[in-house]
Structure formats: C-alpha cells, structure tokens
Amino acid sequence: MEGNKKLQRAEFIKMSGGLAFLMLSSKWLFAENIQAADLVNTAQKRQEYTTSLLKKLVTDIGPKPSGSKAYAKAAKVVFQEMKRSLPDVNYDKYEFDNWDPISSSNLIVGGQHIEAIPQKRGVGTTADGVQGIIAKSGNGFVILDEQNATILAYFSVNQYGKAIAGSGSGNLSISVPVFGIGKQDIPLLERSVKNKQQAWIKSEYHPVYKAPGINVIGQIKGKSKKEILVIAHLDTIFNTPGANDNTSSVIVMLMLAHAASGRENKHTLTFIASDSEEYVYEGAYHYAEGRIADHTIKDIRHVINFDSLTYGPNLWISSKNQDVKDLIHKIHKDLNIDAKPIFDESDGYVMDSLPFKPSGAKALHANSRGYDEKTLPVYHRPDDTADKVPLDCVEISFLVFDEYIRRIDVQ
Ligand SMILES: [Zn+2]
C-alpha cells in the first residue's frame, strides 16, 4: 500500500500545475483516506495491524511513563499512525512537575524479603531507610516508630496479584513513603503483625523537575461542529510496558480512526492518545481546559473513554445515560457478538473523561472483564507484555465501537 501511495505521489509531481491543483481537491484527499480505511477493513488486517503496533509501542519501547523519552517516542509513533488517515493531527503539549522513584529495597520483615514497589510521585525514606514495628492500617499495613507510634511507611495491597506501585495513603499525611505489596504476602504480614516484628524498607526519588506532557490529537471534520470525542491514555506506570493498560486500547482507537476516515461523517471526530492518565489525568485536563478556553467544549456531544479494553471479551460500560447502554447492548445483539457486556451505574465521566464534564456530552467509560485469571494479575506489572493481549478482545472492541460511532453519528 505504501508503494502504491508513493507511485501516486510521483505521478502527481509530474503533472502540470492546473491538473495538480484539481487533484488537490477533496476528491484526491478522499481517495487517500479510502486507502487508509483499507488498512483495517478485514479481521485479518486488524489482527496484523494490532500485532505490528504492539511490537512498536510495547515490545520495542517498553515502559512509557509520562515525561520520559520512551513516552515521547511512543507519541511519535501514534502521531505517524494518525497521519495515515486523519487530515488533522497535532501534538498538544504542556509541562508538569515530575519525580519518580529511582531505587528501592524490598520490605524486610522478621528477616523475610517481601516485594514492595514505591509509589509514583511519592516521597522517599531517609537515606538509611525506615525501621519500626509492622502493623495493620485500614486495608493496608504500616511501619510504626517504636517510640512514638508515628507512621514511617505505608503499604497498599494489590487485590489482583503481586506487588504493583503503591497507591494512596488513606488519611495519612502525604509526606509518608508509600509502597505497594502483593496479595499473596498478606498471611505472612498478618503473622508478623501478631508477633510485632521489626520491619525495614528504603526508597529514593529523583528531585522534582519539569517534564514534557504530550497528548496526540487527531481530527476529522464532519459536516457539523457537533463532535464525538474518543480518548485512550498512552502513558504507563514506570515499571510496566502496559500492553493491556492501555496500549491495546490506543490501538483500537487508531483502527476506529482509520475506519472512520473512509466515511463521510456528520459529526466531527476527535481522537486523543492522552498523556499523564496515570498522573491524575493531567493530559486530558490540559486538552479539555484548552477547549473550555476557546469556547468549543460544548461542541462535544459524545465522550468515549477507553481504559483496558482487553481484560476479557465482556466490555464493562459505565455511563449515566441509559440510551448509551441500550445502544451498546443492541449492537452486541445485532452484530451477534459472543460476549456479555457489563453495565454499571457509575458516571461515564471518570478518569480521562472527567475533564470533559463541562461539555455536558453523553459520556461512556469502557473497561473489560472475562479473562480475569490471565489478564488482571499483569495489571501494572512488568509482565503486561504484548503476548498477554487477547486479540479477540481487540476485535470485539473494534467491532462494537466502530458500530457505536456510526450509529451515534447519524442521530
Ligand atoms: Zn489505564
């Protein structure tokens, strides 16, 4: 296909000025877009497309946390992919305060080593680490100072499996170092708590520095200003290549963009590969704030947020709009899709779609379930690798949302 495109360009250059001008008209562009839409017009091609992008974005690049060179590389790949079919592709850049853990130890309790992973953008321990008595606190554990019972470190537990980066610290002061531990270590820790055993851990962080945030925005103008916005975060946690969370969803979004580029759409379609989702949605906030500032936020009539579409074939849809859920349900029936979508009552304005709430659009947040045993334990782990992505889930997500976009476009 590339060769074909090049040949056409070469012929174009040879043409006389007048004819070349004519060829620059929308018909010419439309012809190119049909080619891009052809990229993903069969299940076989979609599978090849997915596999090749998983290699580029997951296997070759590895973890791509917000602010890193690896993230910038991934953003470039996505930019180039969008360019294949979308007339309008831009970077939306910003700066943010970044700091990441640079080293950490295991948690050592009563002489036993337990895997523990520090929080992103957390605080480090003192240079010697912190030492005290292990105790329970809410759903997690803490190391307490023996003398005055001050909390020296907090441990969150990953309910899905082994240790992932620590998160939250409940009502604790934010100056406490936070780590994540795996659920398999709970019995050992509970015994240690009973026996009031000594615990020690250490972590070190980079100082705060300005880092680049990069959203990639692709757009196809429709007949009207009314807009459908699709967003999927491209960034990962620092210690995972993030195949399922959330690179495979970004790939689904790119395929939806290619497919839509071959159609004439009523709505303007906006596709966003967002940065900093793992850092409190800063990328999505940055873009949404721009849309508020230029008074175009209310053009957005539909928001579709993809986060981890490949944990199983059953899409997990959150929306406050019953008609949104009815439509997803109907599409499954009409397309004969062998999966059972899950619907819940929580708001579609969650995580990366939250910043778009001022639009008043119909919002949908999509996650998934079904292959939980295989997929959930790799969540935020180093082994969330390309081979862990169930390709049937990519196909189901593509089919359902391609149809969803077509149907809401004509409404
Ligand atoms: Zn995610």
Ligand 1 centre to CA of 245 (Å) is: 5
Q: What is the pLDDT of residue 2?
A: 38
Q: What is the pLDDT of residue 348?
A: 96
Q: What is the pLDDT of residue 366?
A: 98
Q: DSSP secondary-structure letter at 39? A: T
Ligand 1 centre to CA of 257 (Å) is: 20
Per residue in 306-315, pLDDT (tens digit) is 999 999 999 9
Q: Which residues of the chain have pLDDT under 50?
A: 1-28
| 230 contacts: CB under 8 Å, gap ≥ 6 | 253, 256, 257, 269, 270, 271, 272, 304, 306, 401, 405
Ligand 1 centre to CA of 278 (Å) is: 7
Q: What is the pLDDT of residue 393?
A: 98
Ligand 1 centre to CA of 308 (Å) is: 6
Q: What is the chain's Cα-based Rg?
A: 24
Q: What is the pLDDT of residue 29?
A: 54
Ligand 1 centre to CA of 369 (Å) is: 14
Backbone torsions φ then ψ of 29, nearest 5 degrees:
-60, -40
Ligand 1 centre to CA of 232 (Å) is: 8
Whether the upstream peptide bond of residue 246 has omega within 30° of 0, thus cis, is yes
Domains located in the chain, CATH noted: 38-97+210-410 (3.40.630.10), 101-205 (3.50.30)
In Å, how far are 52, 163, 164, 267 from 240, measured between CA atoms? 19, 12, 9, 36
| 405 contacts: CB under 8 Å, gap ≥ 6 | 228, 230, 256, 260, 269, 304
In Å, how far are 101, 123, 210, 285 from 207, measured between CA atoms? 9, 10, 10, 24
pTM above 0.85, yes or no: yes
Q: DSSP secondary-structure letter at 220? A: E
Ligand 1 centre to CA of 36 (Å) is: 28
Ligand 1 centre to CA of 223 (Å) is: 33
Ligand 1 centre to CA of 241 (Å) is: 12
Residues with CB under 5 A from ligand 1 (ion): 245-246, 307
Ligand 1 centre to CA of 376 (Å) is: 12
Q: What is the pLDDT of residue 279?
A: 79
Backbone torsions φ then ψ of 57, nearest 5 degrees:
-90, -25
Q: Which amino acid is it at 183?
A: K
Ligand 1 centre to CA of 255 (Å) is: 19
Ligand 1 centre to CA of 176 (Å) is: 25
Ligand 1 centre to CA of 246 (Å) is: 5
